[in-house]
Structure formats: structure tokens, C-alpha cells
Amino acid sequence: MNKTNYSEKEIYNLIAGIPDPEIPVITIEDLGILREVSIKDDKILISITPTYSGCPAMKAIENDIKEILSKHDIGPVEIKTVFSPVWTTDWISDEAKEKLRVYGISPPEKSSSDKNVLLNRHVYCPRCNSTNTELISQFGSTACKALYKCKDCLEPFDHFKCH
Amino acid sequence: MSELNKNIAEYALRIGDTSLILGQRLAEWCGHGPILEEDIALTNISLDLIGQSRAFLTYAGEKEGNGRSEDDLAFFREARTFKNRLMAEQPNGDYAQTMIRQLFLSVYQYYFYTELMKSKDETFAALAEKSLKEVTYHVRHSSEWTIRFGDGTEESHVRTLEAVDTLWKYTGDLFETDQIDADLKKAGIAVDMDVVKTSWDKKIREIFETATLTIPQEGFMIGGSVAGMHTEHLGHLLAEMQVLPRSFPGVEW
């Protein structure tokens, strides 16, 4: 174990590119799940925050982080789940939102602090950009998504819920 | 363990147990939903609730200071030490009963977490803020179904009224408090349950009006959850939920 060879920033960069297990086109950094890397008393502390309380991807992400660090002989590592500040889709960068759209997932709108936006129904179709869309189910294939249908191109699609 | 930590542990247990037991009830619908979208919706809500419960139970274990994990608390306690609201353990019944139970509890959790966000306990405040976002979707889902059933066909209207009739007597228990609540409220940690109840009453009244449902007359209420008194249903639920870890202690996935 040789933690002194790596700075906090270097460790952060090693794990920042881990893809989300459910939506592999974006990383845990893109999503804002990875919060902080710090080194204290020869121990590496990594803080992650869940998107949804019950998101099963958190465990997979923890395992991915441990695997990468152990490959580089970095340790000991403690992974902490933090809840404050509370995760919001506002942390997803515009670039990552575009990656979501290209992948076929309609990205979340801005500003989840407004409850009306949280329950907004004006959702863009990721394929034809139409706003003439219809909610099929507000719960989808993962906790963070709702199921919509485009009434112009008739394609069903996932919408990353504003949160 | 200080008196304050003991009270915080108990308070966290009550919140976590309500989410856990309701989450377990909803998970019983997995594979049995009336349509695919609803099957997915109920299991998603269940997942949110179990996730919330994990955080609150972990915190309860920390504050208790006896080294009990979330799993120890969920799987190795007897019914009398569970502190979930009685509403959460009521059986699924038909879809109207599941939705009315969900409406009562989601609206309760919505206003409860809204108040808990102001808690001086930072962990409670953070978990409340996180949970509230998820519960907002749960309220929307159950209120839409309540309106659709209540203002739907004659059959759906009658069955929704029957569900309300069955579950109304457990609504009083949602707002029951004891000395622990009073002490923690004085310390700025626990919520003011009167505020939660006033908001709950108003919101349920609004939804019922749109759904053409009537609020039952004031009548007998069954309480006791804060003291660990339960209806017969909890034991059966726990038997199913706990059987695996109890049969194979220390088993891993």
C-alpha cells in the first residue's frame, strides 16, 4: 500500500470516469455522485451521494471504486455515503445532458428547487425534439426515470426525472 | 448512551420502520400489479422507501451505540419493538386499498419531512430533504389514482369508499406522540405533529373532494404504534420479511 504516490486530485481523476452502471454513457462525476476525495491519517476517504435513496447502483459504484484503487495499489480506502447537500439533477452538466439525449434518454430540466418544475410535464422527445409528448408512467426502468411517449414520432422513451 | 442519543435513536427507528414496513408491503405487489406500469411504479416506490429506511435505521443504530447495523435492526427484532405507524402494516387488499393506504402515508410523509427539514439535527434535516423529493412523486401517483377510482365507475367508487372505511381508523395513529416527541421537539429536533396533522387534513380533504369521496365521521381510532403495539398483520409480514436472515444468520447475497 503506497498512498503517498498519489495526490487527492490524482485519485479523484482515477475514479471520476467510472460509468454509471445503469446509464453507461455518463460517469459518476457527470452525475454528481462522486463528491470528494480526501486523504486523512494515511487513509483515503471517498464521499459519494445517492441519486435516489434506494438506488441499487450505489453498491456497484462502491465496488467499482474499490476495484480501480486496488489495481493501483491504493489504500486503505473508506467510502462514505453522504446526504448533504442533497443530490439534484441540476448538478448534471449540459455536456452530460447532451450525452443522455443522444443515448435516447430525455434529460432533466433545470432548477429542481421549484416544485412545479419537479412535476413538469413539458418533456422533450430525445429523438425528434418535439414537446408533444405524453407521460405513460412516472416510474420507469430505474428510480431516476419516467416513461414517456412522443405523439409526433410515436417513439416511447425514458425521461430522466427532474430531482 | 446519553438520554438525548437514546431519544434520537428511537425517533429514527419510528421513521425508518414506517418506511421499511410500507416498502415491504408494496414489494408484495412485485409481479402481481394490475398492469405492467403499476407493477413498476409500486416496486419503484418500494425501492425509494426501503432506501430511506436504510438511512434512518443506520442512524438509529449509530445513535444507539450498541453496534447494531441496519440489517440487525430490520431482520432481528420482534414485532413489539417495531415502531412503524399501524397504517403501513395494513394488508394490500385490492388496488383501491393499496392506493388509499399509500395516499394516507405519502401525504403524511410529505408534511412530516417538510417539517423535519427544519430539524436542528443535521442528519435528520438532510435525510428529510432527500426523502421529500422522492415522496413528492409518491403523493402525485397515489392522489391521481384516488381521483381516478373515486370519480371513476360505480364499482371503483364503491371499492374506494370501502378502502377508506377499512383504513380510516388507523389515521389517528399517524399523529400519535409521546414524551420522546415532546422532549425532542423542545430541543428543536422533532417535528410539531400538530402542524403535520393540520396540513394532512387539508390536503386529504382537497383530494377527496376532487375524487367525490367523503371523509368518514369522527369515530373510533386505533393507536399504539409509538409504544410498539401492533395489529395482527405485522407478525405475518415480519415472518416473511425476516425468514431468510433468521434461518441463515450472516448469509450474504
- For B229, other C-beta atoms within 10 Å of its C-beta total 14
Residue of A nearest to B140 (CA): A119
Q: Is A87 among the domain residues?
A: no
Establish, for the pair of chains A and B, how many residue pairs have beta carbons separated by less than 8 Å. 71
A114 shares a domain with A71: no
Quote the CA–CA distance of B178 and B186 in Å, as a whole number.
13
Q: Is A33 among the domain residues?
A: yes
A77 shares a domain with A123: no
Quote the CA–CA distance of A122 and B86 in Å, as a whole number.
38
Final residue of a domain: which of A81, A107, A132? Answer: A81
Chain A residues within 8 A of B38 when measuring between CB atoms: 137
> pLDDT for B38-67, tens place per residue?
999 999 999 999 999 999 999 999 999 999
Final residue of a domain: which of A58, A81, A104? Answer: A81
* pLDDT given for residue A3 in this prediction: 47
A14 shares a domain with A76: yes
Cβ-defined contact of B134 to A83 (cutoff 8 Å): no
* pLDDT given for residue A114 in this prediction: 55
A52 shares a domain with A23: yes
* pLDDT given for residue B1 in this prediction: 65
Domain hosting A133: range is 92-160
Chain B residues within 8 A of A83 when measuring between CB atoms: 55, 123, 126-127, 129-130
Residue B242, helix vs strand vs coil: helix
C-alpha cell of residue A85: 447537500
Chain A residues within 8 A of B41 when measuring between CB atoms: 137-139
Q: What is the CATH number of the domain that holds A21?
A: 3.30.300.130
* pLDDT given for residue A56 in this prediction: 87
Quote the CA–CA distance of B110 and B142 in Å, as a whole number.
12
| Cβ-contact B137, B44 below 8 angstroms | no
A149 shares a domain with A102: yes
Cβ-defined contact of B47 to A115 (cutoff 8 Å): no
Q: Which residues in chain B show pLDDT less than 70? A: 1
Tell me which residue has cell 446519553.
B2
A73 shares a domain with A12: yes
Residue of A nearest to B122 (CA): A84
A96 shares a domain with A48: no
C-alpha cell of residue A120: 413538469
DSSP states along B154-223: HHHHHHHHHHHHHHGGGTGGGG---HHHHHHHHTT-S--HHHHHHHHHHHHHHHHHHTT--PPPS-----
Q: Is A1 among the domain residues?
A: no
Chain A residues within 8 A of B51 when measuring between CB atoms: 50, 52-55
Q: Is A51 exposed, middle or buried (0-12, 13-18, 19+ CB in 10 A)?
A: buried
**pTM as predicted:** 0.93
Cβ-defined contact of A53 to B130 (cutoff 8 Å): yes
Quote the CA–CA distance of A33 and A16 in Å, as a whole number.
10
Residue of B nearest to A84 (CA): B126
pLDDT in tens, chain A (163 residues): 444 589 999 999 999 999 999 999 999 999 999 999 999 988 999 999 999 999 889 999 999 999 999 999 998 999 999 998 999 999 998 999 999 999 999 999 875 555 555 555 579 999 999 999 999 888 988 888 999 999 999 999 999 988 8
Final residue of a domain: which of A81, A103, A122? Answer: A81
Chain A residues within 8 A of B55 when measuring between CB atoms: 53, 83
Distances in Å between the Cα of A65 and the Cα atoms of A79, A87, A93, B51, B204 are 9, 19, 22, 21, 45
A39 shares a domain with A64: yes
C-alpha cell of residue A153: 414520432
A108 shares a domain with A59: no
Q: Is A156 among the domain residues?
A: yes
The total of structural domains in chain A comes to 2
A97 shares a domain with A149: yes
> pLDDT for B126-166, tens place per residue?
999 999 999 999 999 999 999 999 999 999 999 999 999 99
| Cβ-contact B26, B49 below 8 angstroms | yes
Q: Is A2 among the domain residues?
A: no
A100 shares a domain with A77: no
Q: Is A48 among the domain residues?
A: yes
